[in-house]
Amino acid sequence: METKERIKKSLEDLLKIEDVQACFVTGRQIGTVTPESKAKLKNLALWKLIMDTTHKFFPITEDFYMYGLSRLYFELKDYEIIMTFIGHGIALITIIPVLANRGLIEVEIENTSRIIKEILKLHQ
């Protein structure tokens, strides 16, 4: 199975979690990889904004990555966006409702990021 197809499968599994509204992996080396299933996010304008602007975070976060930056959280109205850095210049983006049970979702995000890291053969 091709690398991007394997990543898509891991994203599909993450998207099955009830409160995960959308997710994707993005980075210079691999472009943007989204799951086959449609995002559950109702606000399509927000989805488009996140998809179109995520790459702009990398020049800022690269400097922090070498100091151990692993996650970045921010809230946009009713949603929380979690950027999990899988490798240098590669991130798993997960969108959840602000009031979601983040503890459970954090475990699933960590599992997914480890799977993707293994697929990409990224080792710390």
Quick: pLDDT tens for 51-97.
Answer: 888 888 888 888 888 899 999 999 998 999 999 999 888 999 999 99
pTM: 0.92
Examine residue 124 and state whether it is found in any structural domain, yes or no.
Answer: no
> What does each C-alpha distance from 119 to 4, 79, 80, 88, 113 come to in angstroms?
9, 29, 26, 15, 10
In a domain, 51, yes or no: yes
CATH number, domain of 70, equals: 3.30.450.30
Residue numbers of the domain that contains 92: 3-119
The answer to whether position 21 is within a domain reads yes
Total number of domains constituting the chain:
1
**Length of the chain measured in residues:** 124
